[in-house]
Amino acid sequence: MFTPTRRVLAALVASAALTAPAFAADLVINFDDLNPGPKKGFDDAVAAFQAANPDMEIEVNNTDREAHKTAIRNFLTADAPDITSWYPGNRMAPFVNAGLFEDISDLWESEGLNESFASIKPTMTIDGKQWGVPYTYYQWGIYYRADIMEELGLSVPETWDDLLAACGAIDDAGKDCFTIGTKYLWTAAGVFDYLNLRTNGYDFHNSLTAGEVPYTDERVVQVFENWKQLVEPGHFIENHATMSWQDALAPFVSGDAVMYVMGNFAVDGMKEAGLTEDQIGYVPFPTINPDVERAEDAPADAFFIPSNAQNKENARKFLAFIAQPDIQTEWNKTIGQLPPNANAEVGESKFLQQGFETVSTAAGLAQFYDRDAPAAMAKAGMEGFQEFMLNPGRLDAILERLDKVQARVNRQINR
């Protein structure tokens, strides 16, 4: 009775085993950006790697960023590629802690990445080990309409008082000072990061996102008091909660709003919408507390080796390859961002030059609120920021709620 079934089963297993190797490549890479620029940068790098390793069979799966975020949990456990793109900081923590990412400290050692990637090493490190190789990062700051500022006779703000005065003047001219789109929440976190970094400094910001300081702490309250000075006079555009960051480009391009706290990727959108490079200016977020050293948000994107990868040798080869200065130079020229390798060259665009200047002289680099803080905390925090921007009067209630979430998240992490 049992023999036939067993025979069928055996045949099934055998056929599965036979078909599997036919599809297996020597290196499978999952990437997460289909936008023309980033796709080309990635494809070029893979092509260069293929040229250096002509015998290697490379398979590339490039998906949309949001789809990648949902898919990664499945493919890391079920059907792991040899390389996957992902984000450093707290965003890689769940996978590192679950043992799904490979420790590549040995590669950092043998390829000398500890030196050439020294500035970005802390965000790639958990438990004293390195888990990935970053291929790009970019600066944040204030992008402003240089032509309008000139027209209004305003100089570029360097201190908080400058900024408030400039916003007042812009307001008098019938325009909005800042554009922002908070529908997807994270843009508000950029503003919060900078206000906190400038008011309380890098170390405090890290303690806050690490859950060591409560949100009702008077130093955090001070951050929101500063923020209030922009919110209450209406220095942010109205209806920002209905807009994405791309929607918020419209008032900037039309000249109804003059400044935008954003990452460098926004420049592409501004230019596509018809602004020339001369009309756009970049300035680091102004000083608030002069005693605090200047730190910046500079999120990086990186590649990781899943623990369940089939071809770890080839994967290591690929990571070593893309860590090289010339590859990083080319790649970031194509996508208009900064190469994390200190020996690579920065692109010639003025935004990259200024951005590199800003980032390389900073006292510390934060990743971004939703990468520095644990995910559950980040979600609640960013909702709180949005609620504060719409209802600044509810500050106390918001901060108390954030404390509650923080206490819970801490409890879970320490378990």
Partner 1 sequence: MALSPWLFLLPGILFFAVYVIAPIFQSIWISFYEWDGLGEKYWIGLDNYRELLDDDRFYTSLKNNVIWLILYMLAVPLGLAIALFLNQTVTGIRLYKSLFFFPFVISQVVVGLIFTWFYNPSFGIVGKLWTFFGATPPAILADETLVTYGIIAAGLWPQIAYCMILYLTGLNNVSPDQIEAGRLDNARGWKMLWYIIIPQLKPATFIAIVVTVIGALRSFDLIAIMTQGGPYGSSNVLAYYMYETALSEYGYRMGYGSAIATVLFLIMVVYISYFLWRMYQDEKS
Binding site for partner 1 (CB under 8 A): 66, 69-70, 73, 77, 94-95, 97-98, 100, 182-185, 238-242, 370, 375-376, 378-379, 383-384, 386-387, 390, 401, 404, 408, 412, 415
Q: At residue 116, what is the residue type?
A: S
Give the per-residue SS3 of 356-370: HHHHHCCCEEECCHH
**Closest to partner 1 by CB, 18 or 78:** 78
**Closest to partner 1 by CB, 100 or 104:** 100
Q: Which of 218, 237, 223 is nearest to 192 (CA)?
A: 223
* Separation between Cα atoms, residue 337 and residue 333, nearest integer Å: 7
**Structural tokens at position 402:** 């954030």
Least CB distance to partner 1 at residue 70 (A): 8
Give the DSSP H or E segment for 130. Answer: strand 129-130
* Separation between Cα atoms, residue 338 and residue 324, nearest integer Å: 14
Beta bridge partners of 366: 297
**Closest to partner 1 by CB, 91 or 205:** 91
CB 63 within 8 A of CB 34: yes
Residues ≥6 apart with Cβ < 8 Å to 412: 376
Least CB distance to partner 1 at residue 340 (A): 24
**Closest to partner 1 by CB, 40 or 73:** 73
Least CB distance to partner 1 at residue 48 (A): 32
Query: Residue 201's Cα: distance from chain center in Å?
Result: 20
* Separation between Cα atoms, residue 157 and residue 25, nearest integer Å: 54
**Closest to partner 1 by CB, 19 or 414:** 414
Least CB distance to partner 1 at residue 89 (A): 14
**Closest to partner 1 by CB, 66 or 278:** 66
Where would I find the H helices in 141-265? Answer: 146-151, 160-172, 186-200, 202-209, 218-231, 249-254
**Closest to partner 1 by CB, 358 or 406:** 406
**Closest to partner 1 by CB, 160 or 385:** 385
Least CB distance to partner 1 at residue 300 (A): 18
* Separation between Cα atoms, residue 357 and residue 283, nearest integer Å: 11
Least CB distance to partner 1 at residue 411 (A): 9
The Cα angle at residue 92 between residues 183 and 58, in degrees rounded to 5: 105
Phi-psi group of 255: left, alpha or beta (phi > 0 → left; psi -120 to 50 → alpha; rest → beta): left
Least CB distance to partner 1 at residue 259 (A): 19
Least CB distance to partner 1 at residue 76 (A): 8
